[in-house]
């Protein structure tokens, strides 16, 4: 009798044999998909190919240890695993390779990611959560090497939270007593990345149920391990992480990637330890091969010598598995050849079906365009030119949408001065075409469900008649207290967040009240703080990840830009990570504590909200709003505002600052001044001084940069004042240019201006240290006053003579 490694139940020899043959079938299917996939790229049907050949057998062993509720955070070689857990078919494999824009055909991303990037669906069509414990889960991959690591940490930490935190017992669609394991995969060369090391260290500290699988084929593209890793051996240099009877750490397991029996045992052991003990494990899978090289962009014969290539052919994991199957009498050579022949046919059939499904809608669209172009040609004096475009399109038997759209748009140029029914029909068709087709490539950057952030209605702070003036940080603290009391799934964590209640006391006493798991300190490791938040958010928790200062967000920017903000987009709305990132910034002292990298953040973080409250009441209102929605956001509190006095609201936790809505905080008639955050206080002071010389400025707080002024209220102010100055402490051309573009171009504000619209930004360098450094590096009250006066002087030099 044999034991089924997945269920621990005894199997008869025939049942065990059937399981072995099924594994062999999956391994050969995956390999054939890789081989045929490469040919599809080289013939031009697909753009790029990166495949899982050489990793088939360890991934079959992994799949046996992977249970419902578990999560994968992997790298783009894991196709065999996805096939083994029933989440990837042959046709879906090729649909992803072709970039099919249908979620039914390519459920991984609907053509938004390259092949080899795998995701399961966490959400229903209406954006609500599925029961994640009843399915095997894969978080959506990203291409940046080791970029999957920080998220893996959070996916694993969620199990620890669900197991140990009271109040989450009703979250049964996310966890079953924290028994889920988060499995990560990475190529051996990518273990050189800092994100790998940061995550490995953090997981060891946190002791979370994480299994890290390193696929080691000795190369990183063409670069050998001797140039990648000390001692050419990742498990050797990680020995210090091995747990002992005295010290917590990792269980480290080393196994050869061609040994089926040892692989099954290794993955079962790692999974059991992680699942039952919540101890992280690392499986170093050695002696793997990469039969087709790194990708379709090159051949490995260019950098592997003859001896290495011979060894790879002999120790190909599929070859070794085949030998083992025959040696142990599970099948004969003839029986395996019959299986292989049938699989080759199945893969060709699946490939053909995927290509036909990919082409069918485009061929229909092309035929519609050809018919309309033919009609247009017959009605136009420019028939010859239009027919040339039509014939070129008709000659494409396998048309792409860019050819269709390009041809129609070029044809319309020839009939600009004509009026005909045929022209109108073609115009209507191409406009409708873009309405239908563009969302296939552009939808779901933000939530399109009824729980999106911009649909959350404003609730203003309410004040008692005897409302006390308190430090702004007290409002934040008491509001966080209310949040933690109302939302048991909310956790706040970051550097110095726990014991001292953050460096500005916005969480004072809350760890003592709610415990170390809900308000917790972390190490100095910004990327994995973000990763903790992403992973836990993907599993139904509501984390608030604190990055101590805005300047330090640069450590985590790659994770935010490549992973967090693209989760919803790259899965076409099938996954989400509603993480709130809390930080503080703007004006203080010194190069490294007063940065305002807003322009960079605005452009790199499309897909999350960037909120810039001017005081702590506004900030607290943003947190309250965000917890009513399911979208990620970055909230930047004013670093120099924690000790400024504000009135204490009576409705803590209930008032909500609207997202994408500006606020006019001083009305005026002569010029519109637009700003945000700490600089707004300087603008307000300058507006008072301008009033003394007869200039009545209107002052507007944009409140949020992403999105910016959804109601187009800024242009309404320009209509009244006819002049505009945008003030910002970012470098020139940063956030101020973005705001100006929104007003002048998007809102057509240019037509209401009597003077040149201008910006006033910081100097193009980091601020020098000290009070004087701030004054001479960023806009001052005098700078604002003089810039406004200069604009008014130009319009009315008699009443406002030159100042200096």
Strands 251-256 and 223-224: unpaired
The dihedral through the CA atoms of 583, 586, 589, 591 has a sign that is: positive
583 has which bridge partners?
636
Hey, is 123 helix, strand or coil?
strand
CA-to-CA separations, 687 to 638, 640, 701, 721, in angstroms, rounded: 20, 20, 13, 14
Rounded (to 5) percent helix, strand, coil in the chain: 45, 15, 40
Q: Does a cis peptide bond (omega within 30 degrees of 0) precede residue 587?
A: no
Q: Which residues are marked as active site?
A: 593
List the beta strands (DSSP E) in 383-479: 469-471
519 has which bridge partners?
492
Both structure tokens of 438: 């563009």
The dihedral through the CA atoms of 492, 496, 499, 504 has a sign that is: negative
- For 668, residues 6+ apart whose C-beta sits below 8 A from its C-beta are 687, 696, 697, 698, 699, 721
Both structure tokens of 691: 């009033």
- Identify the CA nearest to 517 among candidates 536, 534, 531: 536
Strands 469-471 and 645-647: antiparallel
Assign residue 221 a region: left if phi > 0, alpha if psi is -120 to 50, beta otherwise? left
DSSP state of 497: -
Q: Which residues of 746-777 are buried (b: 16+ CB within 10 A; e: fewer)?
A: ebebeebbebebbbbbbeeebbbeeeebbeeb
546 has which bridge partners?
494, 582
Residue whose tokens read 């990203």: 142
Question: How far is residue 12's CA from residue 462's CA, in Å, rounded to a whole number?
Answer: 71
CA-to-CA separations, 420 to 253, 285, 410, 432, 501, in angstroms, rounded: 74, 68, 17, 18, 71
- Identify the CA nearest to 458 among candidates 164, 726, 660, 156: 660
């Amino acid at each position: 009798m044999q034991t089924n490694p997945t269920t621990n139940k005894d199997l008869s020899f025939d049942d065990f044999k059937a399981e072995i043959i099924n594994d062999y079938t999956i391994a050969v299917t995956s390999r054939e998909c890789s081989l045929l996939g490469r040919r599809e790229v080289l013939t031009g049907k697909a753009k790029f190919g990166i495949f899982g050949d050489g990793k088939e057998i360890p991934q079959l062993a992994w799949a046996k240890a992977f249970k419902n509720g578990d999560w994968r955070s992997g790298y783009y070689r894991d196709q065999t695993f996805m096939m083994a857990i029933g989440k990837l078919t042959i046709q879906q494999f090729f649909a992803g390779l072709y970039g099919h824009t249908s979620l039914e055909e390519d459920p991984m991303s609907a053509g938004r990611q390259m092949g080899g990037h795998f995701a399961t669906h966490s959400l229903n069509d209406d954006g609500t959560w599925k029961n994640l414990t009843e399915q095997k889960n894969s978080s959506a991959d990203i291409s940046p090497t080791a970029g999957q690591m920080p998220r893996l940490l959070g996916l694993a930490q969620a199990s620890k939270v669900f197991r140990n935190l009271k109040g989450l017992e009703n979250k049964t669609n996310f966890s079953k007593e924290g028994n889920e394991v988060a499995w990560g995969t990475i190529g051996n060369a990518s273990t050189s990345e800092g994100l790998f090391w940061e995550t490995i260290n953090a997981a060891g500290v946190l002791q979370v149920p994480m299994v890290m699988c390193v696929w080691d084929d000795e190369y990183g593209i063409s670069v050998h391990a001797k140039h990648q890793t000390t001692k050419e051996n990742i498990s050797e240099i990680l020995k210090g992480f091995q747990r002992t009877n005295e010290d917590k750490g990792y269980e480290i397991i080393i196994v050869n990637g061609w040994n089926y029996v040892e692989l099954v045992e290794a993955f079962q052991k790692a999974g059991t330890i992680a699942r039952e003990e919540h101890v992280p494990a690392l499986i170093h899978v050695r002696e793997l091969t990469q039969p087709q090289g790194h990708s379709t962009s090159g051949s490995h014969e260019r950098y592997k010598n003859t001896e290495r290539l011979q060894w790879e052919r002999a120790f190909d994991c599929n070859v070794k598995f085949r030998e083992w199957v025959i040696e142990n009498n599970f099948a004969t050579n003839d029986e395996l050849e019959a299986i292989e022949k049938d699989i080759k046919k199945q893969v060709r059939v699946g490939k053909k079906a995927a290509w036909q499904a990919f082409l069918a809608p485009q061929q229909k669209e092309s035929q519609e365009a050809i018919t309309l172009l033919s009609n247009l040609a017959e009605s136009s004096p420019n028939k010859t030119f239009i027919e040339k475009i039509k014939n070129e399109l008709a000659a494409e038997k396998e048309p792409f949408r860019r050819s269709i759209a390009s041809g129609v748009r070029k044809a319309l140029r020839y009939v600009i001065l004509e009026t005909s029914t045929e022209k109108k029909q073609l115009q209507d068709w191409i406009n409708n075409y873009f309405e239908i087709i563009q969302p296939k490539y552009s939808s779901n950057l933000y939530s399109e469900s009824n729980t999106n952030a911009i649909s959350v209605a404003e609730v203003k702070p309410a004040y008692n008649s005897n409302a006390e003036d308190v430090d702004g940080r007290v409002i934040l603290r008491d509001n966080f207290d209310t949040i933690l009391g109302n939302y048991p799934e909310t956790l706040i964590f970051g550097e110095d967040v726990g014991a001292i209640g953050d460096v500005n006391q916005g969480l004072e006493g809350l760890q003592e009240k709610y415990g170390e798991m809900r308000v917790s300190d972390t190490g100095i490791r910004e990327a994995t703080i973000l990763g903790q938040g992403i992973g836990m958010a993907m599993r139904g928790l509501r984390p608030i990840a604190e990055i101590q200062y805005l300047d330090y967000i640069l450590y985590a920017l790659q994770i935010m830009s490549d992973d967090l903000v693209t989760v919803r987009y790259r899965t076409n709305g099938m996954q989400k990570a509603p993480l709130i990132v809390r930080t503080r910034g703007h004006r203080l002292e010194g190069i490294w504590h007063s940065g305002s990298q807003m322009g960079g953040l605005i452009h790199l973080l499309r897909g999350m909200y960037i909120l810039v409250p001017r005081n702590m009441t506004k900030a607290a209102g943003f947190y309250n709003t965000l917890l009513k929605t399911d979208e990620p956001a970055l909230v930047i509190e004013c670093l120099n505002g924690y000790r400024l006095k504000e009135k204490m609201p009576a409705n803590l936790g209930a008032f909500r600052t609207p997202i994408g809505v500006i606020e006019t905080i001083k009305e005026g008639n002569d010029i519109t001044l637009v700003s945000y955050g700490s600089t707004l206080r300087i603008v307000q002071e300058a507006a008072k001084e301008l009033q003394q010389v007869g200039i009545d400025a209107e002052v507007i707080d944009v409140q949020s940069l992403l999105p910016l002024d959804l109601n187009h209220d800024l242009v309404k102010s320009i209509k009244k004042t006819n002049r505009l100055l945008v003030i910002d402490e970012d470098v020139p051309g940063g956030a101020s240019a973005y705001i100006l573009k929104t007003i002048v171009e998007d809102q057509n504000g240019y037509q209401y201006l009597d003077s040149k619209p201008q910006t006033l930004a910081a100097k193009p360098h980091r601020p020098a240290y000290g009070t004087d450094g701030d004054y001479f590096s960023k806009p001052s009250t005098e700078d604002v006053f003089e810039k406004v006066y200069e604009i008014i002087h130009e319009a009315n030099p008699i009443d406002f003579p030159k100042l200096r």
